[in-house]
Protein backbone atom coordinates (compact mmCIF):
# COMPACT_ATOMS: atom_id res chain seq x y z
CA UNK A 1 0.00 0.00 0.00
CA UNK A 2 1.40 3.39 -1.02
CA UNK A 3 1.30 6.16 1.58
CA UNK A 4 -0.52 9.32 0.50
CA UNK A 5 1.61 12.44 0.18
CA UNK A 6 -0.39 14.51 2.68
CA UNK A 7 -0.35 11.64 5.18
CA UNK A 8 3.43 11.54 4.80
CA UNK A 9 3.76 15.28 5.41
CA UNK A 10 1.59 15.01 8.54
CA UNK A 11 3.71 12.15 9.87
CA UNK A 12 6.91 14.07 9.13
CA UNK A 13 5.76 17.20 10.99
CA UNK A 14 4.46 15.28 14.04
CA UNK A 15 7.52 13.08 14.48
CA UNK A 16 9.63 16.19 13.96
CA UNK A 17 7.81 17.95 16.80
CA UNK A 18 8.41 14.90 18.98
CA UNK A 19 12.12 14.89 18.13
CA UNK A 20 12.40 18.61 18.84
CA UNK A 21 10.71 18.30 22.24
CA UNK A 22 12.86 15.36 23.31
CA UNK A 23 16.07 17.05 22.20
CA UNK A 24 15.18 20.30 23.98
CA UNK A 25 14.46 18.33 27.16
CA UNK A 26 18.02 17.03 27.10
CA UNK A 27 19.53 20.43 26.21
CA UNK A 28 20.18 19.48 22.58
CA UNK A 29 19.41 22.02 19.81
CA UNK A 30 15.94 21.32 18.36
CA UNK A 31 17.27 21.26 14.81
CA UNK A 32 19.47 18.30 15.80
CA UNK A 33 16.40 16.55 17.19
CA UNK A 34 14.51 17.09 13.92
CA UNK A 35 17.36 15.56 11.90
CA UNK A 36 17.96 12.67 14.30
CA UNK A 37 14.30 11.66 14.27
CA UNK A 38 14.37 11.87 10.47
CA UNK A 39 17.49 9.68 10.35
CA UNK A 40 15.84 7.20 12.73
CA UNK A 41 12.67 6.86 10.63
CA UNK A 42 14.47 7.18 7.27
CA UNK A 43 15.78 4.51 4.90
CA UNK A 44 19.02 4.05 6.87
CA UNK A 45 17.28 2.74 10.03
CA UNK A 46 13.56 1.90 10.32
CA UNK A 47 12.56 2.81 6.75
CA UNK A 48 9.17 4.35 7.60
CA UNK A 49 10.14 7.27 5.36
CA UNK A 50 11.26 5.50 2.18
CA UNK A 51 13.44 6.95 -0.57
CA UNK A 52 10.42 7.00 -2.92
CA UNK A 53 8.36 8.92 -0.37
CA UNK A 54 11.16 11.45 0.12
CA UNK A 55 11.21 12.02 -3.63
CA UNK A 56 7.42 12.38 -3.82
CA UNK A 57 7.22 15.19 -1.26
CA UNK A 58 10.28 17.14 -2.46
CA UNK A 59 8.03 20.21 -2.89
CA UNK A 60 8.11 20.65 0.89
CA UNK A 61 11.91 20.88 0.72
CA UNK A 62 11.73 23.47 -2.06
CA UNK A 63 9.31 25.67 -0.14
CA UNK A 64 11.24 25.36 3.14
CA UNK A 65 14.57 26.13 1.48
CA UNK A 66 12.98 29.16 -0.19
CA UNK A 67 11.68 30.42 3.17
CA UNK A 68 15.08 29.84 4.80
CA UNK A 69 16.95 31.74 2.09
CA UNK A 70 14.37 34.54 2.25
CA UNK A 71 14.92 34.80 6.02
CA UNK A 72 18.73 34.78 5.61
CA UNK A 73 18.48 37.41 2.86
CA UNK A 74 16.29 39.39 5.24
CA UNK A 75 19.25 39.68 7.60
CA UNK A 76 21.19 41.69 4.99
CA UNK A 77 20.54 45.31 5.91
CA UNK A 78 22.69 47.70 3.92
CA UNK A 79 22.72 50.39 6.61
CA UNK A 80 23.54 47.73 9.22
CA UNK A 81 26.42 46.34 7.14
CA UNK A 82 27.68 49.91 6.69
CA UNK A 83 27.48 50.35 10.46
CA UNK A 84 29.47 47.13 11.02
CA UNK A 85 31.93 48.37 8.45
CA UNK A 86 33.73 46.66 5.62
CA UNK A 87 35.14 44.13 8.06
CA UNK A 88 32.11 41.82 7.77
CA UNK A 89 32.50 41.68 3.95
CA UNK A 90 36.21 40.92 4.22
CA UNK A 91 35.57 38.28 6.89
CA UNK A 92 33.06 36.55 4.60
CA UNK A 93 35.51 36.66 1.69
CA UNK A 94 38.42 35.47 3.87
CA UNK A 95 36.60 32.47 5.41
CA UNK A 96 35.30 31.51 1.95
CA UNK A 97 38.79 31.74 0.46
CA UNK A 98 40.22 29.82 3.41
CA UNK A 99 37.84 26.89 2.89
CA UNK A 100 38.33 26.95 -0.89
CA UNK A 101 42.13 27.16 -0.73
CA UNK A 102 42.60 24.31 1.74
CA UNK A 103 40.11 21.98 0.00
CA UNK A 104 41.58 22.83 -3.40
CA UNK A 105 45.10 22.17 -2.12
CA UNK A 106 44.42 18.83 -0.41
CA UNK A 107 42.27 17.59 -3.31
CA UNK A 108 44.98 18.41 -5.84
CA UNK A 109 47.51 16.69 -3.60
CA UNK A 110 45.40 13.53 -3.30
CA UNK A 111 43.81 13.28 -6.76
CA UNK A 112 45.68 15.68 -9.07
CA UNK A 113 42.31 16.44 -10.71
CA UNK A 114 41.90 20.19 -11.32
CA UNK A 115 38.16 19.97 -12.04
CA UNK A 116 37.46 17.93 -8.91
CA UNK A 117 39.59 20.25 -6.77
CA UNK A 118 37.97 23.48 -8.01
CA UNK A 119 34.36 22.23 -7.75
CA UNK A 120 34.84 20.58 -4.35
CA UNK A 121 36.57 23.75 -3.17
CA UNK A 122 33.63 25.96 -4.17
CA UNK A 123 31.09 23.60 -2.56
CA UNK A 124 33.12 23.76 0.67
CA UNK A 125 32.39 27.50 0.90
CA UNK A 126 28.66 27.07 1.65
CA UNK A 127 27.39 27.10 5.25
CA UNK A 128 23.92 25.65 5.93
CA UNK A 129 21.70 28.72 6.40
CA UNK A 130 18.77 26.79 7.88
CA UNK A 131 20.72 25.24 10.74
CA UNK A 132 22.31 28.58 11.60
CA UNK A 133 18.99 30.42 11.53
CA UNK A 134 17.10 27.90 13.69
CA UNK A 135 19.83 27.67 16.35
CA UNK A 136 19.94 31.47 16.61
CA UNK A 137 16.15 31.67 16.89
CA UNK A 138 15.89 28.84 19.42
CA UNK A 139 18.33 30.50 21.82
CA UNK A 140 17.15 34.07 21.09
CA UNK A 141 20.73 35.04 20.30
CA UNK A 142 21.57 38.69 19.78
CA UNK A 143 24.88 40.52 19.65
CA UNK A 144 27.95 41.21 17.50
CA UNK A 145 28.68 37.52 16.81
CA UNK A 146 25.06 36.74 15.88
CA UNK A 147 24.81 39.72 13.54
CA UNK A 148 28.15 38.93 11.91
CA UNK A 149 27.31 35.22 11.60
CA UNK A 150 24.02 35.86 9.78
CA UNK A 151 25.63 38.35 7.39
CA UNK A 152 28.60 36.05 6.70
CA UNK A 153 26.36 33.01 6.06
CA UNK A 154 24.27 35.02 3.60
CA UNK A 155 27.34 36.30 1.79
CA UNK A 156 29.24 33.01 1.70
CA UNK A 157 26.27 31.26 0.10
CA UNK A 158 26.17 33.94 -2.60
CA UNK A 159 29.95 33.58 -3.10
CA UNK A 160 29.54 29.79 -3.29
CA UNK A 161 26.72 29.91 -5.87
CA UNK A 162 28.51 32.43 -8.11
CA UNK A 163 31.92 30.70 -7.86
CA UNK A 164 30.39 27.27 -8.49
CA UNK A 165 28.60 28.48 -11.61
CA UNK A 166 31.82 29.97 -13.02
CA UNK A 167 34.01 26.93 -12.24
CA UNK A 168 31.34 24.47 -13.41
CA UNK A 169 31.00 26.38 -16.68
CA UNK A 170 34.78 26.35 -17.16
CA UNK A 171 34.84 22.60 -16.49
CA UNK A 172 32.01 22.01 -18.99
CA UNK A 173 33.86 24.06 -21.63
CA UNK A 174 37.06 22.11 -21.05
CA UNK A 175 35.11 18.89 -21.59
CA UNK A 176 33.69 19.90 -24.96
CA UNK A 177 30.41 21.64 -24.10
CA UNK A 178 29.35 24.25 -26.71
CA UNK A 179 30.42 27.79 -25.80
CA UNK A 180 26.94 29.28 -26.44
CA UNK A 181 25.24 26.70 -24.21
CA UNK A 182 27.66 27.35 -21.37
CA UNK A 183 27.37 31.14 -21.73
CA UNK A 184 23.58 30.91 -21.71
CA UNK A 185 23.63 28.76 -18.55
CA UNK A 186 25.82 31.33 -16.78
CA UNK A 187 23.53 34.14 -17.96
CA UNK A 188 20.44 32.29 -16.73
CA UNK A 189 21.88 31.38 -13.36
CA UNK A 190 23.50 34.70 -12.46
CA UNK A 191 21.77 37.48 -14.41
CA UNK A 192 18.20 36.11 -14.44
CA UNK A 193 18.40 35.15 -10.75
CA UNK A 194 19.27 38.74 -9.85
CA UNK A 195 16.61 40.20 -12.17
CA UNK A 196 13.87 37.88 -10.87
CA UNK A 197 14.88 38.41 -7.24
CA UNK A 198 14.94 42.19 -7.60
CA UNK A 199 11.63 42.20 -9.47
CA UNK A 200 9.77 40.02 -6.95
CA UNK A 201 11.30 41.84 -3.96
CA UNK A 202 10.12 45.10 -5.53
CA UNK A 203 6.65 43.57 -6.00
CA UNK A 204 6.35 42.88 -2.26
CA UNK A 205 7.45 46.43 -1.45
CA UNK A 206 4.98 47.94 -3.93
CA UNK A 207 2.07 45.73 -2.84
CA UNK A 208 2.46 46.59 0.85
CA UNK A 209 1.56 50.21 0.02
CA UNK A 210 -1.81 49.04 -1.30
CA UNK A 211 -2.97 46.94 1.68
CA UNK A 212 -4.87 47.84 4.83
CA UNK A 213 -4.52 44.55 6.73
CA UNK A 214 -1.05 43.46 7.86
CA UNK A 215 -2.03 39.77 7.69
CA UNK A 216 -2.40 40.24 3.94
CA UNK A 217 1.31 41.04 3.75
CA UNK A 218 2.12 37.52 5.04
CA UNK A 219 0.14 36.10 2.13
CA UNK A 220 1.86 38.46 -0.30
CA UNK A 221 5.31 37.38 0.93
CA UNK A 222 4.52 33.65 0.81
CA UNK A 223 2.76 33.94 -2.55
CA UNK A 224 5.68 35.88 -4.03
CA UNK A 225 8.19 33.34 -2.73
CA UNK A 226 6.18 30.48 -4.25
CA UNK A 227 6.11 32.44 -7.50
CA UNK A 228 9.88 32.87 -7.37
CA UNK A 229 10.45 29.16 -6.67
CA UNK A 230 8.07 28.21 -9.49
CA UNK A 231 9.68 30.55 -12.02
CA UNK A 232 13.16 29.30 -11.05
CA UNK A 233 12.14 25.66 -11.47
CA UNK A 234 10.37 26.36 -14.77
CA UNK A 235 13.31 28.08 -16.45
CA UNK A 236 15.90 25.77 -14.87
CA UNK A 237 17.81 27.99 -12.45
CA UNK A 238 18.55 27.65 -8.74
CA UNK A 239 15.88 29.06 -6.44
CA UNK A 240 18.48 29.75 -3.74
CA UNK A 241 19.89 32.99 -5.09
CA UNK A 242 16.43 34.19 -6.18
CA UNK A 243 14.89 33.75 -2.71
CA UNK A 244 17.91 35.25 -0.95
CA UNK A 245 17.71 38.37 -3.14
CA UNK A 246 13.95 38.66 -2.55
CA UNK A 247 14.63 38.63 1.19
CA UNK A 248 17.40 41.23 0.94
CA UNK A 249 15.36 43.58 -1.27
CA UNK A 250 12.28 43.28 0.94
CA UNK A 251 14.28 43.91 4.10
CA UNK A 252 15.93 47.05 2.71
CA UNK A 253 12.94 48.60 0.90
CA UNK A 254 9.84 47.45 2.78
CA UNK A 255 8.63 49.58 5.68
CA UNK A 256 6.14 47.09 7.12
CA UNK A 257 7.36 43.53 6.63
CA UNK A 258 9.08 43.33 10.05
CA UNK A 259 5.71 43.95 11.68
CA UNK A 260 4.46 40.59 10.39
CA UNK A 261 7.51 38.55 11.48
CA UNK A 262 5.64 36.76 14.34
CA UNK A 263 2.89 35.60 11.97
CA UNK A 264 5.40 34.72 9.26
CA UNK A 265 7.47 32.60 11.65
CA UNK A 266 4.39 30.66 12.74
CA UNK A 267 3.66 29.96 9.07
CA UNK A 268 7.27 28.91 8.40
CA UNK A 269 7.74 26.46 11.28
CA UNK A 270 5.86 23.44 9.85
CA UNK A 271 7.95 23.73 6.67
CA UNK A 272 11.18 24.11 8.66
CA UNK A 273 10.41 21.06 10.79
CA UNK A 274 9.52 18.98 7.73
CA UNK A 275 12.65 20.19 5.92
CA UNK A 276 15.03 19.08 8.67
CA UNK A 277 13.25 15.78 9.29
CA UNK A 278 13.49 15.05 5.56
CA UNK A 279 17.13 16.19 5.57
CA UNK A 280 17.85 13.70 8.35
CA UNK A 281 15.93 10.96 6.54
CA UNK A 282 17.93 11.55 3.36
CA UNK A 283 21.25 10.91 5.13
CA UNK A 284 22.66 7.48 4.30
CA UNK A 285 24.87 6.10 7.06
CA UNK A 286 26.38 3.55 4.68
CA UNK A 287 28.05 6.41 2.76
CA UNK A 288 30.42 6.82 5.72
CA UNK A 289 31.97 3.48 4.74
CA UNK A 290 33.03 5.05 1.41
CA UNK A 291 34.51 8.20 2.95
CA UNK A 292 38.13 7.47 1.98
CA UNK A 293 41.20 9.67 2.26
CA UNK A 294 39.68 12.54 0.27
CA UNK A 295 36.57 12.54 2.46
CA UNK A 296 38.61 12.64 5.66
CA UNK A 297 40.71 15.47 4.22
CA UNK A 298 37.52 17.38 3.33
CA UNK A 299 36.12 16.86 6.84
CA UNK A 300 39.24 18.35 8.44
CA UNK A 301 40.36 20.97 5.91
CA UNK A 302 37.00 22.74 5.42
CA UNK A 303 36.42 23.82 9.05
CA UNK A 304 40.13 24.56 9.43
CA UNK A 305 40.07 26.85 6.39
CA UNK A 306 36.98 28.68 7.66
CA UNK A 307 38.48 29.15 11.11
CA UNK A 308 41.83 30.40 9.80
CA UNK A 309 40.19 32.75 7.28
CA UNK A 310 37.63 34.26 9.67
CA UNK A 311 40.14 34.57 12.52
CA UNK A 312 42.83 36.21 10.37
CA UNK A 313 40.39 38.69 8.79
CA UNK A 314 38.89 39.47 12.20
CA UNK A 315 42.31 40.26 13.63
CA UNK A 316 43.41 42.34 10.62
CA UNK A 317 40.20 44.40 10.54
CA UNK A 318 39.92 44.67 14.34
CA UNK A 319 36.59 42.90 14.70
CA UNK A 320 34.92 42.34 18.07
CA UNK A 321 36.95 39.79 20.10
CA UNK A 322 33.87 37.56 20.42
CA UNK A 323 33.66 37.45 16.63
CA UNK A 324 37.37 36.72 16.22
CA UNK A 325 37.36 33.87 18.74
CA UNK A 326 34.02 32.20 17.94
CA UNK A 327 32.89 32.83 14.36
CA UNK A 328 34.91 30.00 12.76
CA UNK A 329 33.32 27.48 15.13
CA UNK A 330 29.82 28.53 14.04
CA UNK A 331 30.46 28.07 10.30
CA UNK A 332 30.68 24.26 10.30
CA UNK A 333 27.09 23.19 9.34
CA UNK A 334 26.64 22.19 5.72
CA UNK A 335 23.62 20.59 4.07
CA UNK A 336 21.09 21.52 1.38
CA UNK A 337 23.08 23.96 -0.75
CA UNK A 338 26.15 21.69 -0.89
CA UNK A 339 24.08 18.57 -1.62
CA UNK A 340 22.16 20.37 -4.37
CA UNK A 341 25.36 21.49 -6.10
CA UNK A 342 26.87 17.99 -5.85
CA UNK A 343 23.72 16.51 -7.41
CA UNK A 344 23.92 19.05 -10.26
CA UNK A 345 27.43 17.86 -11.13
CA UNK A 346 26.23 14.24 -11.03
CA UNK A 347 23.48 14.90 -13.57
CA UNK A 348 25.81 16.10 -16.32
CA UNK A 349 29.15 14.49 -15.33
CA UNK A 350 28.29 11.21 -13.53
CA UNK A 351 31.85 10.05 -12.81
CA UNK A 352 33.05 13.35 -11.36
CA UNK A 353 29.69 13.93 -9.66
CA UNK A 354 29.84 10.50 -8.04
CA UNK A 355 33.15 11.34 -6.37
CA UNK A 356 31.94 14.76 -5.22
CA UNK A 357 28.60 13.37 -3.95
CA UNK A 358 30.31 10.64 -1.93
CA UNK A 359 32.56 13.17 -0.20
CA UNK A 360 29.83 15.77 0.39
CA UNK A 361 27.07 13.38 1.52
CA UNK A 362 29.30 11.51 3.96
CA UNK A 363 30.70 14.78 5.33
CA UNK A 364 27.22 16.26 5.77
CA UNK A 365 26.37 13.44 8.20
CA UNK A 366 29.22 14.57 10.45
CA UNK A 367 28.74 18.31 9.94
CA UNK A 368 25.01 18.15 10.64
CA UNK A 369 25.62 15.97 13.68
CA UNK A 370 28.03 18.30 15.46
CA UNK A 371 27.43 21.60 13.63
CA UNK A 372 24.38 22.76 15.64
CA UNK A 373 26.20 22.01 18.92
CA UNK A 374 29.22 24.06 17.85
CA UNK A 375 27.03 26.94 16.64
CA UNK A 376 25.28 26.98 20.01
CA UNK A 377 28.61 26.71 21.83
CA UNK A 378 29.98 29.68 19.89
CA UNK A 379 26.93 31.78 20.79
CA UNK A 380 27.14 30.75 24.47
CA UNK A 381 30.88 31.52 24.58
CA UNK A 382 30.09 34.96 23.17
CA UNK A 383 27.36 35.37 25.86
CA UNK A 384 24.73 36.15 23.24
CA UNK A 385 22.08 33.51 24.11
CA UNK A 386 19.18 34.08 26.48
CA UNK A 387 20.67 31.49 28.84
CA UNK A 388 24.20 30.44 29.77
CA UNK A 389 23.09 26.88 30.61
In a domain, 94, yes or no: yes
Query: Does residue 180 form part of some domain?
Result: yes
- 283-302 core/surface letters (b: 16 or more CB in 10 A; e: else): bbeebeeebeebbebbbebb
CA neighbor of 227 nearest in space, from 259, 199, 268: 199
Instruction: Identify the pLDDT of residue 111.
Output: 86
CA distance 74 to 69: 8
Question: Does residue 97 sit within a domain?
Answer: yes
pTM of the model: 0.80
Q: Which residue range forms the structural domain that includes residue 349?
A: 60-276+292-381
What pLDDT was estimated at residue 84? 66
Does 43 map to a domain?
no
Q: Are 386 and 143 contacting, i.e. CB atoms less than 8 angstroms apart?
A: no
User: In the chain, which residues have pLDDT < 50?
Assistant: 1-2, 388-389
Q: Do the domain assignments include residue 249?
A: yes
In a domain? residue 150: yes
pLDDT at 1: 46
Q: What is the CATH number of the domain that holds 168?
A: 1.20.1530.20
Based on the structure, what is the number of domains in the chain? 1
Is 9 domain-assigned? no
For residue 167, what are the contacts with CB-CB under 8 A and spacing of at least 6? 118, 119, 122
Residue 327 lies inside a defined structural domain of this protein:
yes
Amino acid sequence: MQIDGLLSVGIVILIGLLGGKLSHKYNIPRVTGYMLIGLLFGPSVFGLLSSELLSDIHLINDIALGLILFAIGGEIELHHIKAMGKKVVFIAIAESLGAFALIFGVTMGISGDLGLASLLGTIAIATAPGVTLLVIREYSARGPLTETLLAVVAMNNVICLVAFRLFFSAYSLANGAPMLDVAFDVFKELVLSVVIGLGLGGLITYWEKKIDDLSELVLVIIGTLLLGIGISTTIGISQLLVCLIIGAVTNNLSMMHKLVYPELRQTEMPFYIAFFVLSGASLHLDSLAHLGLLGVAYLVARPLGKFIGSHAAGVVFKANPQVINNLGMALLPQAGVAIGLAMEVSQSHPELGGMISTVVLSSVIVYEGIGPFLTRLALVRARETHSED
